[in-house]
Chains A and B, each alone.
Chain A
Amino acid sequence: MTTDTAYIRDTFVPAKPAPGRTGGPILWLRTNLFATPTDSILTVLGVVFLLWAVPPIYNFIIGQAVFPGGTVEDCRVEGAGACWAYIHARFNFFIYGFYPIDQYWRPNTVFVLGAALILPLLIPSAPFKRINAVLFFLVFPVISFYLLSGGVFGLPYVPTEQWGGLLVTLIISLVGIICSIPLGILLALGRQSDLPIIKTLCVMFIELWRAVPLITVLFMASIMLPLFMPTGTNVDKLLRALVGVTLFASAYLAEVVRGGLQALPRGQYEAGASLGLSYWKRTSFIILPQAIKHVIPGIVNNFIALFKDTSLVSIVGIFDLLNTVQAASSDIDWASPTQAVTGYVFAAFMFWIFCFAMSRYSLWMEHRLDTGHKR
C-alpha cells in the first residue's frame, strides 16, 4: 500500500563542490573590491583618483623636495617640492619662538620633565599614580613657570613676549587642560545641584561660553580683561589668553562631565546617601570616580579640540606654533615659491601628530574601560 504522498526523495542530492577559495588574496579582492559591478566601478574610480592625487603629493613631500643641506637656490628651482631645508634652518624659531638662544636648556628641561611625568600617568599599570598626578598637575606647572620666566635663583628674566612656537602652544593647552578640569567638574556638579541659584549661575556660565566662538572670547580677554582690573594693573598678554582659553575649555568640559554624572544609575547616589555620607564625601568617593571613568574618552576628545583651538591665539598676537610659521613665511632669506606651503605642511604635521596620538589614546582607553556593562 503506497501513501498519498506524491513524491518522496529516496536518494541524497549530490554534494556541491567545495567553494573554490576560502582565503587568499584573490578571494579578498573579490569580496572587498569587486563584489558587485557597482563595487568594481567604485574601485576603478578610486584607483584613478589615487593615481591622480598621490604622485603629486609624494613628489612635493619627498620626490622633488629639498632636504636639509640644500640651499635656498635649490628651493627656487622651477618644479622643486617642499623646502625642508627652510624648516631645518628655522626649526628653533618654530619650537622656542624668540626665546634667548643661550637659555634653550630651560624650555628643554621643561619638555623633558613634562614628558617624564606625563608618560607614567598615561600608562594605567604604572605605579605611584597619586604622587605622579600631584607632581604633574601641581608641582610641574610651578617649576615650569619659574624655570621659563626666570628672575629667581640667578636665572635671567625672560618676558612672556619672547616665548613662542611649539613651547607656547604646549603651555596654553596644558594650562587650559589642567585648570579646566577642576573648574569643569565644579560647574558640572553645580549644574546638577538642587540649589536653584547655584544651578542657574552654572547653566548661564556654561551656555554663554559654549555659545560664542573662541575668537570672541580671546578678543574679550585681551581687550576687556584690562578694563575689569583695578586701574594700573598690567595683565600679561599670555595670561589674558590663558584666562580666555581656560574659561572656554571649562564650559565644554563641564558638559562632558555632566554626561558622566547623568549616566550613573540613581542607585549610586541613593546608596551613598543611605550610608550617611555628606554631599562632598559622596561626590568625591562614589560619584566622581565612576562618572569621570565613563567620560575619559570624551575628556580626551575635548583636549584634542582645545589643542587645535590654541592656534587661535595667533589672532590676538601671541606667537604660537602657527603664528611663528606664518611669520617665518615672509622671511626674505628663504623666499621661494614653496616656502609658505612647506611651513603649513610642517605645522599641520606637528598638530596632526599630537591630535592623532591623543585620539588613538582615547580609543584605546575606551576599549580598556569597557567593562562590559554596555549592551
Chain B
Amino acid sequence: MAVQDNMSGSAPRPSLLNDPVIRGIIYQVLVAAAVIAFFGWIVLNTAQNLAAQNKTTGFDFLFRTAGFDISFTLFPWSRTSLYWQAFLAGLLNTLLVAIIGIFFATVLGFTLGIARLSSNWLIARVATVYIETIRNIPLLLQLFFWYFAVLKGMPAVRQSFALPMDIFINQRGLMVPRPLPDGEFIWVLVALLAAFAAAVALGVWATRVRTATGRYPSQVVLGAKIADALVSFLVALLAFSLLANMISGMTTPIVLGASALIAAVSVTRFAPFGRAILAFVFGLTILYALLTSMFPAVPQLVVAAGSALAALMLAWVAFERASDRPPGEGRFPLALLILVAVGVPAFVYWATGAQLAFEIPMLERFNFRGGVQLPPELVALVFGLTIYTAAFIAENVRGGISAVSKGQTEAAQSLGIKEGDRLRLVIIPQAMRVIVPPLTSQYLNLTKNSSLGAAIGYPELVNVFTGTTLNQTGKAIEVIALTMAVYLTFSLLTSAFMNWYNGRVALVER
C-alpha cells in the first residue's frame, strides 16, 4: 500500500530557482533591465551634454543650405544646395565607385583565381605572388600609394600622358571624351536593347530546338553561315587595317581584297586557315605595338621578330582549335547572334541619321577643355579597391573551383567531354554555388571599403556627410545614424539576396 502511494505521488518539484524555464526568464529580465539602464544612462548623459553645449536635435537641418563645395557630383551642385542633396551626392558617389569597382574587381578576380589554378607553373606563380602581396597590405596604405605617390606623381597638365582613344592622364586625373548624343540617338539605344534581347531569345530558342530534335533549325543554320562570312569579313577588315598601319605598302584595295578572301574561305572547309591567318595578324600587330612601348630600349627588328614568332605560335593554336570544331550545322550560331545584336543598331544608326559625336578633351593653355574630367581621387579609389578586392575574389574563385569534387572532373573526362566544355558545363556551374555567397560579401566589403575614399578626399558618403556636414552642423547623432543606416541597408539587401540565392541553388539531397 505504502509503495503504491509513493508511486502515484507526483515527482518532487524542484525549487523554482532551479527550473530552467523560470531561470531563463529571470536571466532575460536581468539582461534586458541592464541594457535598458545602460541606454537610459547614455541618453541622459547625451541630453545633458547637448544641453550644456546649447545644441538641439532633429533632422530639420537636412533642409538648410549646405553652402560648401563638392569637387565631383553626378548632378548639378551649387553652394545653395541643401544638406539632403549633399547626402544624395555622397550616396551616389559611393554607388558610382562601388559599381565601377565591382565590375573591374570581378573581371580581374576571376582571371587571377583561374590563373592561380592553372597547370602552367609560371602563370600560377605570378597569380600567387600577386594575391599574397596585395592581401597582406592594408587597403588604406594602397590607396595612399595610388593617390599620393602614383597619381600625384603623374606629369603636370602640359606634359599629360596621351593614352589611346583620346584619353589623357595627368596630375588632375583622367580626361576622357564626353559622348554627345543627338535627339535621334535614343532610337539607336532602343534598337540596341531590342536587338540584344532578340539575340538572346534567338539563342535560347535555337538551343531548345536542338535539345528537342538534335539539330538546330535549318533557317538558323543558313543564317549562321551568312553571319559567319559577314563577321569574318568585319574581323578580317579590322585585322588587316591594323596591319596596314604597320606596313606602308598595304593600300585599301589590298585590305578589302584580303578581307573578302578570308570571308569567302570561312564558309568552306578551309576555314581553319583563315582563322590562323587572322590570329597571326592580330598577334603580330598587337604584340608589336605592346612590346615596342614596353621595351623602348630593344631594337625594333628584334621586337618584330619576337612578335612574329609568338604570333606564329598563336596561329598554330588557332588552327588546331578551328580544326577541332564540329561542322557548321552542329555549332552554336554565335556569329548570327553577334550580327543581330550589333548589326540592327548599326542599321538604325545609319537609317535614322543619328549622330554620336564625342567632345574630345583638348589641351589649352592651363588646363584641358571639353571632355569629362574624372578626378584623381576617383581614379585612385577605383584602382585601389579593384586591385585589393580582386585578390580576395580570386581566393574565393579558387576555393569554389577546388571545392568541386575531383570525381566530377573524372566523370566528365570519362564521358569524353573536352577541356573547355568540361569547365563550362560541369565545373563552373557547380563551383558558382560555392563562389556566389562569398562573392556577394566581397561586393559588400568593396562598398564598405569605398568609405576609405574619405581619406584621399573623394567626396563619397562618409566624406561629404560624416565629414563636412557633421563639422558644419554639429548634428553628430543624426548624421552618424543616417550614415550607418545607409550601410546597414546595403548589408541587409545583400544578405537578402544571398538567402534567396542559397535557397535557389542549394543542393537537394536525399
A residues neighboring B (CB under 8 Å)? 32-33, 35, 37-52, 194-198, 201, 207-208, 210-213, 215-216, 219-220, 223-224, 226-231, 304, 308-309, 311-312, 314-315, 322, 326, 329, 337, 340-341, 344, 347-348, 351-352, 355-356, 359
- Tally the A-B contacts, defined by beta carbons under 8 Å: 178
A223 and B452 CA atoms in complex are apart in Å by 18
- Quick check: B454 and A52 within 8 Å, CB to CB? no
- Quick check: B149 and A344 within 8 Å, CB to CB? yes
Known contacts A42-B123, A348-B137, A351-B137; decide if A224 and B476 are in contact (CB<8 Å). Answer: yes
- Quick check: A41 and B314 within 8 Å, CB to CB? yes
Q: Please give, as numbers and ranges, the residues of chain A lying within 8 Å of B379 by CB-CB distance.
A: none
Q: Please give, as numbers and ranges, the residues of chain A lying within 8 Å of B48 by CB-CB distance.
A: 230-231
Known contacts A44-B310, A231-B49; decide if A348 and B145 are in contact (CB<8 Å). Answer: yes
A38 and B139 CA atoms in complex are apart in Å by 35
- Quick check: A351 and B138 within 8 Å, CB to CB? yes
Known contacts A224-B476, A351-B138; decide if A231 and B484 are in contact (CB<8 Å). Answer: no
Q: Please give, as numbers and ranges, the residues of chain B lying within 8 Å of A197 by CB-CB distance.
A: 28, 31-32
A5 and B220 CA atoms in complex are apart in Å by 49
- Quick check: B140 and A311 within 8 Å, CB to CB? yes
Q: Please give, as numbers and ranges, the residues of chain B lying within 8 Å of A309 by CB-CB distance.
A: 138
A231 and B295 CA atoms in complex are apart in Å by 66
- Quick check: B477 and A213 within 8 Å, CB to CB? no
Chain A: minimal CB distance from B305 (Å): 13
Known contacts A198-B31, A201-B31, A219-B466; decide if A228 and B42 are in contact (CB<8 Å). Answer: yes
* 12 A/B residue pairs, CB under 8 Å, sorted by A: A32-B122, A44-B313, A49-B126, A51-B295, A195-B28, A212-B487, A215-B455, A230-B45, A308-B137, A315-B454, A347-B141, A359-B135
A373 and B452 CA atoms in complex are apart in Å by 42
Chain A: minimal CB distance from B27 (Å): 6
B residues neighboring A (CB under 8 Å)? 24, 27-28, 31-32, 35, 42, 45-46, 48-50, 52, 118-123, 126, 132-133, 135-142, 144-145, 148-149, 152-153, 291, 294-295, 310, 313-314, 316-317, 320, 448-449, 451-452, 454-455, 462, 466, 470, 476-477, 480, 483-484, 487-488, 490-492
A215: contacting residue among B27, B118, B291, B454, CB under 8 A: B454
A329 and B477 CA atoms in complex are apart in Å by 35
B317: contacting residue among A41, A49, A219, A220, CB under 8 A: A41
A300 and B35 CA atoms in complex are apart in Å by 31
Q: Please give, as numbers and ranges, the residues of chain B lying within 8 Å of A229 by CB-CB distance.
A: 45, 49
A355: contacting residue among B136, B314, B454, B466, CB under 8 A: B136
Q: Please give, as numbers and ranges, the residues of chain B lying within 8 Å of A340 by CB-CB distance.
A: 148-149, 152-153
A35: contacting residue among B119, B135, B314, B490, CB under 8 A: B119
B477: contacting residue among A33, A46, A195, A224, CB under 8 A: A224
Chain A: minimal CB distance from B257 (Å): 30
